[in-house]
Structure 1
């Protein structure tokens, strides 16, 4: 990587958030207060997770990032400061890591490995300068958590404006179209005009991550039984970046849409 990656500590994180807001203007939209965050119900496939991913600590657990390049190294710590080691399997993994630049570009969904020292590790490439949001999504003691921190890549960052609503995308030769019906989002996937039946990926026919404009609040939604429709309690009048992941012919593909 041409630009060294710096870690954003807790104090630096606050500076970074305000710095990005000043530099980017309307790129990521208005900030939100915790009291404004709706809390929909939790559940398995077909149910909506609550809004999460707004803080580095929650419920006595905290996210500590040690390194970012050439691999990301992080630890989940308990109230006693010790590394947490007992994580439950959720969607075939004990840890799901989402990385995305603050303007919504560069989306990655990774699955780190837990080492004997209690730290999680995964190779990570951040190709463009700027501020990136790192979401650690996991289950501990029967409770789902999403802890988040910012890391930065040095250099002059050019942030894109928050994109306008877009109900269609083309990725790797696949055409993806979204249809909204109330709280249900349905995705039609075709290739060369022919419908595509997705394969099971991480225990489901598809996965959807929604990031809210402004604060990048995280909503990890899983599909109904058909694999291509989701119940998503999204705020009316607020835009969301939607990242749909599906597997076909043994490869995982990511479509990016905006609602």
Structure 2
């Protein structure tokens, strides 16, 4: 994934809700200098005349959201485990090209050939996973999902080859069993996870770049020794409530805390769920926020105090 803001044609799910998800990560090496300038967004290329909209109208609506399609740009996300069970399972999948062949060559971005996200449709569960690829192009990863329900999986990758563009594909991933969807968590400017407090500043604005600043503290003291995770001091994913349109953002240049900032553009007005992954003392944690872009109470309100 590209450094800086990255609206991949990824799972368009900029959803505005989700309980602070939680994951474990392996140690990362020194922070890598971004291969591409910060503030560069990756989005599906605009299609002239699509839907009868003028270029001016398209610009006013903001960048295209990603992750809304299972096939795009000549690539298809094919699940080999189209349904799993709650608890610990293994998800297997492949990316196929236009000829139906499994893709086996990718560009490495932020230390990985492919980033795999699983989120519940109600945005209360979020997992950022790093699957392993077999020689034949089959990817697999364990995933621990707390309950049955409707989930969506996203694959974010750039195929090998000069001039290849980043692609984000999305596919439904049902988890068998009876479930009741939960409401979107209330808008908040503070999230708490495992004794850490993360404060959110800034705004997400439709069609216009906006800066988001997240400040991390623990036990009332600022955290100034964040550790690199995927080549940076923070990793932000935003999903849009309703369709789970996906916006992938990487941080602006900065030090190891307590502030991590991002520049992002919302593709439309609406509610979004933000998920910040950060690494401290050898462990990756995820803080989650609900925000509104354009109208609908654009300023986040009281903290939800949830830990997931």
Do they superpose with TM above 0.5?
yes
Post-superposition shift, 1:48?
3.2
| Aligned residues of 2:119 and 2:125 also touching (Cα < 8 A) | yes
Find the aligned partners of 1:180 and 1:146 in 2 and give their Cα distance. Answer: 26
Post-superposition shift, 1:160?
1.1
| Aligned residues of 1:200 and 1:247 also touching (Cα < 8 A) | yes
Distance 1:120 1:235, change over 3 A: closer
Find the aligned partners of 2:189 and 2:95 in 1 and give their Cα distance. Answer: 36
Q: Is residue 193 from structure 1 mapped to residue 220 from structure 2 by the alignment? A: yes
Counterparts of 1:171-186 in structure 2 under 5 Å? 171-180=193-202, 183-186=210-213
| Aligned residues of 1:246 and 1:253 also touching (Cα < 8 A) | yes
Find the aligned partners of 1:64 and 1:242 in 2 and give their Cα distance. Answer: 27
Find the aligned partners of 2:79 and 2:267 in 1 and give their Cα distance. Answer: 31
Find the aligned partners of 2:133 and 2:144 in 1 and give their Cα distance. Answer: 19
Counterparts of 1:52-91 in structure 2 under 5 Å? 52-67=66-81, 69=84, 70-91=89-110
Find the aligned partners of 1:236 and 1:97 in 2 and give their Cα distance. Answer: 24
**RMSD over equivalenced CA pairs, Å:** 1.9
- The size of the alignment, in residue pairs, is 219
| Aligned residues of 1:45 and 1:225 also touching (Cα < 8 A) | yes
TM-score for both structures, normalised by structure 2: 0.68
Q: Is residue 128 from structure 1 mapped to residue 156 from structure 2 by the alignment? A: no
Post-superposition shift, 1:161?
1.4
CA deviation profile, 1:161-190 (whole Å, cap 9, x unmatched): 122311110011110000015700000100
Find the aligned partners of 1:177 and 1:63 in 2 and give their Cα distance. Answer: 36
User: Unpaired segments of 5 or more residues in structure 2?
Assistant: 1-16, 19-35, 44-64, 292-308
Counterparts of 1:126-165 in structure 2 under 5 Å? 126-140=145-159, 141=161, 142-165=164-187
Give the alignment partner of residue 240 of structure 2, picking from 208, 212, 223: 212
Q: Which residue of 2 aligns with 1:225?
A: 253
Q: Is residue 246 from structure 1 mapped to residue 278 from structure 2 by the alignment? A: yes
Distance 1:102 1:211, change over 3 A: same
User: Unpaired segments of 5 or more residues in structure 1?
Assistant: 1-26, 29-42
Give the alignment partner of residue 48 of structure 1, picking from 41, 47, 56: 41
Distance 1:62 1:124, change over 3 A: same
Post-superposition shift, 1:44?
4.6
Find the aligned partners of 1:74 and 1:234 in 2 and give their Cα distance. Answer: 29
| Aligned residues of 1:48 and 1:231 also touching (Cα < 8 A) | no
| Aligned residues of 1:245 and 1:253 also touching (Cα < 8 A) | yes
Q: Is residue 115 from structure 1 mapped to residue 113 from structure 2 by the alignment? A: no
Distance 1:108 1:230, change over 3 A: same
| Aligned residues of 1:49 and 1:221 also touching (Cα < 8 A) | no
Q: Which residue of 2 aligns with 1:38?
A: none
Give the alignment partner of residue 203 of structure 1, picking from 190, 212, 231: 231
